[in-house]
A and B are shown apart, each in its own frame.
Chain A
Amino acid sequence: MKHIMTLETRDMVESVENGGCGECQTSCQSACKTSCGIANQACENNKD
């Protein structure tokens, strides 16, 4: 595409099927302690 560059992102619909293992870090345990951001948590199960 000449006018639109799409960054590669995880397929959210697919993650309904292959996500949810729950092994990822609890977000507040890492650094913030006073807010909730989950976007910066790495997935522990990168099979997809």
Chain B
Amino acid sequence: MIHQYQMNGYNIVLDVFSGSVHVTDLLAYDAIRDYDAARKSLSLTAAAPDSKDNKTGTIGEALPKDKVAELIEKISSEHPESSKDDIRDVFDDIEELIAAGKLFSEDVFRNTSFELKKRNPVVKALCLLVAHTCNLNCSYCFAAQGKFKGDSGLMSFETGKRALDYLVEHSGSRRNLEVDFFGGEPLVNFQVCKDLVAYARSIEKEHNKNFRFTLTTNGIGITDEVIEWANKECYNVVLSLDGRKEVNDRFRVDLAGNGSYDRIVPKFQKLVESRGGQGYYMRGTYTHFNTDFTKDIFHMADDLGFTELSMEPVVTDPSSPSALTQEDLPILKEQYEILARDMIRRKKDGKPITFYHYMIDLQHGPCIYKRVSGCGSGTEYMAVTAWGDLYPCHQFVGDEDYKLGNIWDGVTNTELRDEFKLCNVYSRPECKDCWARMYCAGGCSANALHATGDIHGSYEYGCELFKKRIECALMMKAADGSL
């Protein structure tokens, strides 16, 4: 399977299963398009397994010679400016790439997903909801200000300590263990966060583990003490800011309805400035009210001096006024292109910014197991409530049907865990013909559930945006290659 598209003057061909990315001229772009159509019309799949270098069956079958001759004639009539020799060269190149398993490669990874199912589940990441309460009252909050449709409350040190012990006990040979302080607003329960980190540091050596802590905060509770602690202990901090003051303050308000921008921005700037290059993200949410969200990203970069940026579409009830609409979709796609083009310019100017969804490392990115299995919710990754209940991830908290167990008794709803274990790119029918599936691993189960009522479904709107972001990210790689 291939995916072809043109963006920002680049002709790009993605070979889905090998992950190869080809940047072509228009002649080769059209030749590959016709070659693909001809292969489909002949229902060609894998080359014979005994053919040279094709033991794994990944190499696709090339077209018969007479068919290639037909295509050369067709392309020749469409590209009179090119010589026949040139066009023959293009088809030779295509067949060279096919033989190398880099074009029209076959999907040989289905069995990988079966291997994953057989594995004993280990837990390597927990999202600790240390505070089911918040000092802001953002109306679009999927966590309902931390209450997750339930009661408010704070995690005790004893509960958090047990959660960390549970993680160590169930992490097998995994060394890197991730813990996110989340809520609600975790800094409402800062003392427990501090005590839990101190406890983790006291046990990690004896268990040969490396705890990586993340703090996700709205900024209200940031003090000098928090900054010092976060910079010393947190591998990553996620700082919630929606961009321009009027955009941020539309939703991100305190309990009295006052905007938070003026209070949080100086704190975020101080924290980031003193972070000494350690990981952070400014993390915003865009809604129907700011479909021009690149202005918010550029505001954070140009006016506030932040360079590590993330901006996510709102997750909310479709009937909410802030929900994104079908009419918004083309506008949002254009925004992602604007962002990509601007980031290329910034890089050329020597002042690059990072956008979370455009970070793709083609050479050292995820292996096929990660690409097939995805985020690991419900198996490797779980959320822990303030009372010690386990859920597949933070987005399922409060939905009793999705309670997995608790940190004292472990996962007791093993049927549900097994359902999540089987949740991968091959378990979602809508992903079968999607070119982007090796980049999203089938997408978010929580989004799928909310959109379709089934964790094996697909959140189509999110898919559209995701595909656009991947196209933009790959185009930026093409631009890198041609700088």
| A residues in contact (CB < 8 Å) with B | 1-13, 15-16, 18-20, 22-46
B21 and A19 contacting across the interface, CB-CB below 8 Å: no
Known A7-B362, A22-B124; judge A37-B367 contact (CB<8 A): no
Question: Contacts A6-B22, A22-B124 hold; do A35 and B374 have CB atoms under 8 A apart?
Answer: no
Q: Judge whether B380 and A37 touch: CB under 8 Å.
A: no
Nearest neighbor of B371 in chain A, beta-carbon distance: A38
The stretch from B44-52, B191-199, B256-264, B353-361 touching chain A is B353-361
Q: Which residues of A contact B176 (CB under 8 A)?
A: 23, 25, 44
Contact status A28-B375, CB under 8 Å: yes
What residue in chain A is nearest B172 (Cβ atoms)?
A: A22
A40/B481 in contact, CB under 8 A:
no
Q: Mark B358-370, 1 if CB is under 8 A from A, else 0.
A: 1111111111111
Q: Which of B122, B212, B440 contacts A37 (CB 8 A)?
A: B440
Given contacts A4-B22, A40-B359, contact A24 B310 (CB under 8 A): no
Picked from A3, A10, A23, the residue with its CB within 8 Å of the CB of B365 is A10
Of A7, A15, A33, which one neighbours B477 at CB under 8 angstroms? Answer: A7
Given known A-B contacts A23-B175, A30-B214, A4 and B370 have beta carbons under 8 A apart: no
Majority secondary structure, A binding face? loop
Which residues from 101 to 137 on chain B have a C-beta closer than 8 Å to any C-beta of chain A? 101-102, 108-109, 112, 122, 124-125, 127
Are B18 and A29 neighbours in the complex by a CB distance under 8 Å? Answer: no
Q: List the B residue with the shortest CB-CB distance to A7.
A: B21
Task: Given A20-B369, A39-B439, A41-B370, verify A3-B89 contact (CB < 8 Å).
Answer: yes
Cα distance A42–B365 in the bound complex, in angstroms: 5
Q: Tell me the smallest distance from the CB of A40 to a CB of chain B, in Å.
A: 4
Interface centre among B56, B90, B366 (most CB of A within 10 A): B366
B17: interface (CB < 8 Å): yes
List B393-437 residues whose CB lies under 8 Å from chain A: 393-395
Tell me if B370 and A33 are in contact (CB < 8 A).
no
How many residues on chain B are close to A (CB under 8 Å)?
91
Given the known A-B contacts A26-B124, A27-B374, A29-B125, are A35 and B447 also in contact in the complex, defined by CB atoms under 8 Å? Answer: yes
Given contacts A35-B444, A39-B470, contact A5 B368 (CB under 8 A): no
Q: Is there an interface contact between A43 and B364, defined as CB atoms closer than 8 Å?
A: yes
Complex partner residue of B97 from A4, A20, A36, A37, CB under 8 angstroms: A4
B356 and A32 within 8 A (CB): yes
Instruction: Name B368's contact: one of A1, A19, A37, A39 (CB within 8 Å).
Output: A19
Instruction: Among A11, A16, A36, find the residue whose CB has the most chain B CB atoms closer than 10 A.
Output: A36
Interface centre among A2, A5, A25, A28 (most CB of B within 10 A): A28
Q: Given the complex of chains A and B, what is the CA–CA distance between A42 and B315 in angstroms?
A: 26
Flag whether B298 is at the interface (Cβ < 8 A): no
- Residue pair A13, B58 in contact (C-beta under 8 Å): yes
Cα distance, A24 to B112, chains bound together (Å): 18
- Shortest CB distance B431–A (Å): 12
CB distance from A29 to the nearest CB of B (A): 5
Q: How far is the CA of A31 from the CA of B302 in the complex (A)?
A: 21
Contact B124 A27 (CB under 8 A): no
Contact A29 B364 (CB under 8 A): no
Kindly state the separation between the CA atoms of A19 and B78 in the bound complex, as whole angstroms.
44
Min C-beta distance of B403 to chain A, whole Å: 19
Contact B362 A9 (CB under 8 A): yes
Please choose the segment from B23-31, B61-69, B152-160 that sits at the chain A interface, where 4 or more of its residues have CB less than 8 A away. B23-31
- Report whether A2 and B89 are in contact in the complex, using a CB–CB cutoff of 8 Å: yes
Min CB distance B203 to A, Å, is 19
B216 touches A33 (CB 8 A): yes
Residues from chain B with Cβ under 8 Å of A45 in the complex: 367
A9 and B440 in contact, given A22-B174, A22-B380 (Cβ under 8 angstroms):
no
Given contacts A12-B371, A35-B462, 20 further A-B contacts (CB under 8 A): A1-B93, A4-B28, A6-B102, A7-B481, A12-B367, A13-B101, A16-B108, A16-B112, A22-B369, A22-B380, A24-B366, A26-B375, A29-B178, A33-B216, A34-B312, A37-B440, A38-B370, A39-B440, A39-B473, A45-B367
Shortest beta-carbon contacts, A-B, top 7: A19-B367, A15-B367, A3-B28, A20-B369, A26-B125, A40-B359, A31-B281
Please determine whether A19 and B93 come into contact, CB atoms closer than 8 angstroms: no
Q: Which residue of A lies closest to B477 (CB)?
A: A7
CB closest residue in chain B, given A27: B375
The B468-483 residues at the A interface (CB cut-off 8 A) are 469-470, 473, 477-478, 481-482
B20 with A31: CB separation less than 8 A = no
CB closest chain-A residue, reference B28: A3
